[in-house]
Structure 1
């Protein structure tokens, strides 16, 4: 397949991407695309991810990008990371937050029985860490005027997705943090947004119980189909570039139209068939809703 076109959207810019792990991760694709669009990129993740992931490979693909070890849930580590970043690259033009985890989901704990210590950890790592990155970037004067800050979200921040559990709460917090920072950053022309991406087969995403069903359902409900990690990265380039310098405090849906759909004809037909098939209705948990008409 021929190499995709690149447009120099980030030529002369510098930035850091938090959370890339391997080629399946959205953070990985964003870092790679940013480099191909002309940016100088730094990479960051926790020590275990650096040890067991493929960040060295990504670094080489991004022109030997510096790798900074950072647990974004720890104040001191975030502070040190931005100090080191500034010493290594100077102040930056973009920050990407691609971080999320839930032990409750990993252990398949029902939402009504959440382990609260794990719940707080979910909120800290997946939501509050976004505030921490922005706050310490500002304290260390590591952000240039006109910079762009982006975090990755999911529609479960606004609608209930049963198995997404406490991550839905964390994504709601993430989006609220972006709105709260927006007017505070605006005097310097810095904008901050979240991108609500389709279900994506990443290491984190595929660990959600029933993820393949969520993915298939979203694919059927999205007029353009699910967006891939690579397509999300391409969209993110526009949000990091100067083309969107008046876009801020937004939750931007990148989901093939899923978020605007009520139903599709194939899904209506599928539900109709299921409701008229007693055995199938019982198998998928629709007992009592079977229609004999």
Structure 2
């Protein structure tokens, strides 16, 4: 049921690849709540995904952009304001990729050129998005910018590899740019640390199924779904969270504050 909490708001949603992705579900929910937005992804991802179907449903224009390219991002923000008829109220950065993880490289045998690419795509691109938004003067006052992250930025998880460093960079950027944007235009910048989620990116990590089950048992509420994450994102885009900024917001069913749970104990004592 819609409450129109984003009525009249405009934005950009990065990273909608297919129906499993959090960005895809966020776009559906934003449309339902009255927002207008542009969908964007890297050209290669657009060819792989099914984004045209989403764009048609949401009456949204697709503007390809490589989030590591300042030139592409500048074009994206300028065209988005033109297409949407004004400045933006929200941006979702839902981007992450590690060539080392994709190609099965051990953490003790990283390809450092790929490592730098991981950092650029999954972390530094957030700074590029924020800086371009500032330089193009694309954001309205009291706007909201969000990026998706994971608790591996704070804790070690096998096989998450160099993505952990990228997420640490991402969260640090949110704090530093959150301060800057708050002082400039009352714009808030936050990250949401989501449960392991059955998305294309998540399921590409080695051993993901076992970890998904473990995290579910370690979370008193269970793993947070992609749909629930989309709902949280919509709330963060709304005017109900105008004073929340520079935060890493845990959306994980309680995983981050659980030492051990009855479900884990039961499994270990079988």
- TM bucket (normalised to shorter chain) is over 0.9
In 1: Cα distance, 2:66 partner to 2:133 partner: 15
In 2: Cα distance, 1:11 partner to 1:100 partner: 29
Partner of 2:78: 83
- Structure 1 residue 235 and structure 2 residue 227: aligned? no
SS of the residue corresponding to residue 90 of structure 2 reads strand
Q: CA deviation at 1:272?
A: 3.8
In 1: Cα distance, 2:207 partner to 2:104 partner: 11
- CA-atom RMSD, angstroms? 0.9
Report Cα offsets for 1:121-162 as digits up to 9, x if no partner. Answer: 000000000000011111111111110000000010100011
Gaps of 5+ in 2: none
1:66 maps to which of 58, 61, 64: 61
Partner of 2:91: 95
- Structure 1 residue 181 and structure 2 residue 181: aligned? no
Partner of 2:10: 14
Report Cα offsets for 1:12-68 as digits up to 9, x if no partner. Answer: 1000001110010011111111111110011000112212211110101112x0101
In 1: Cα distance, 2:263 partner to 2:82 partner: 55
SS of the residue corresponding to residue 69 of structure 1 reads coil
Q: What TM-score comes out, normalization by structure 2 length?
A: 0.97
1:121-132 superposed matches below 5 A: 121-132=117-128
In 2: Cα distance, 1:109 partner to 1:258 partner: 28
Q: CA deviation at 1:111?
A: 0.8
Gaps of 5+ in 1: 274-293
- Structure 1 residue 214 and structure 2 residue 211: aligned? yes
Partner of 1:281: none
In 2: Cα distance, 1:229 partner to 1:240 partner: 16
In 1: Cα distance, 2:38 partner to 2:224 partner: 25
Q: CA deviation at 1:268?
A: 2.0
Q: CA deviation at 1:270?
A: 2.4
Kindly tell me the number of residue pairs found equivalent between the two proteins. Answer: 268
**85-94 or 165-174: which moved more?**
85-94
- Structure 1 residue 33 and structure 2 residue 54: aligned? no
Partner of 1:253: 250
